[in-house]
Amino acid sequence: MARTKATPGVKAYYEALQRVFELQSEVLTAALPHMGERGRNDEERFRDFLSKTLPRKFSIGTGFVVCSDPSVPQSNQNDIVVFDEIHNSPLHRELAAFVYPVEMVYATIEVKGRLKPSDLKTCLGGIAKIRRLAKRKRYVLPAAVPVGPSHPGKAKLAQIEFADELSPRAYVLAYDTVGWASLDSFAKSWKQALLKNRNAHLHGVAVLKRGWFVYQMAYTGADVQVRKFSGNALLRFNSKLLKEIQGMQMAPLSSARYLQLDLEEISNT
């Protein structure tokens, strides 16, 4: 195609990126003989894409999500974790994966080379685990409070704890699919799977090779409603992800809960 002075526009740019992802997955990733390494290669490629397109306030990693209540099971290993590294830090930073307090997680993304119908139950089960962890989210804000009658007019630094149970946004990114002939059947399968697991919520699933994008609508009562789109799947995915994580407020987490310290003990300073 001959070059022109005109810019291609955002849609054309993302369409080109989709084709690049398809070629990389079909040719470059397929050159690896081990299926596990193929999967990791696809994940790393998409992590690199997000690190280039999301604002710097959003860090990109992989690993497990936990909460401060040890009785609540940790998440499965997440292919991609979008997290806050301005106010907070992972509990553990190991070479293979990080361990993230749920308070610092903006979103998780499951990456599939080829998404199959049998994967839907597993994906939604992982999402539901993180939503259970989010019920224990606790943050703190610094504040100056009066010392008391013994020291009139004097103040001390305290940490005011508050709860925020908003769950991290949950997405699935697939390079291709096996088992669906149309976008309608694909969306119907997700709706049926979501009806079976009401503890999960799907903020978006994109299939790059097919150009499909589906997401679950919020606050639909006893019913599950999904919206489906054909074309510009990568652009739709990235736009919705960015819009939703930018709308989430972030603050320092209550580290005393993770360190099993008395909040009053660290507040009297």
Mean predicted confidence (pLDDT) in 92-111: 92
Mean predicted confidence (pLDDT) in 250-267: 75
| Residue 235 within any structural domain of the chain | yes
| Residue 48 within any structural domain of the chain | yes
34: pLDDT strictly greater than 50 = no
Strands (E), 49-203: 58-66, 78-84, 92-93, 98-101, 105-115, 138-146, 155-163, 169-177
Total domains present in the chain: 1
| Residue 10 within any structural domain of the chain | no
| Residue 2 within any structural domain of the chain | no
For the ranges 2-11, 23-32, 73-82, which has the lowest average pLDDT?
A: 23-32
216: pLDDT strictly greater than 80 = yes
| Residue 58 within any structural domain of the chain | yes
Most confident of 6-10, 60-64, 94-98, 145-149: 60-64
56: pLDDT strictly greater than 60 = yes
pTM here is: 0.86
| Residue 1 within any structural domain of the chain | no
Burial category of 114 from C-beta neighbours within 10 Å (exposed 0-12, middle 13-18, buried 19 and up): middle
What pLDDT does residue 261 have?
Answer: 60
What pLDDT does residue 264 have?
Answer: 53
Residue with tokens 């005011």: 160
Residue 130 host element (H or E): helix 119-134
What pLDDT does residue 18 have?
Answer: 66
Residue 159 CA: distances (Å) to CA of 102, 143, 201, 252, 255: 19, 6, 32, 10, 11
Residue pair 41/21 in contact by the 8 Å Cβ criterion: no
What pLDDT does residue 157 have?
Answer: 76
260: pLDDT strictly greater than 80 = no
User: Nearest 5°: CA angle at 40, between 34 and 46?
Assistant: 140
What pLDDT does residue 120 have?
Answer: 98
Instruction: Write the pLDDT tens digit of every residue in 164-206.
Output: 999 999 999 999 999 999 999 999 999 999 999 999 999 999 9
What pLDDT does residue 49 have?
Answer: 87
| Residue 214 within any structural domain of the chain | yes
| Residue 6 within any structural domain of the chain | no
Question: By residue range, what is the domain housing residue 223?
Answer: 24-267
What pLDDT does residue 25 have?
Answer: 62
The three-state secondary structure class of 228 is strand
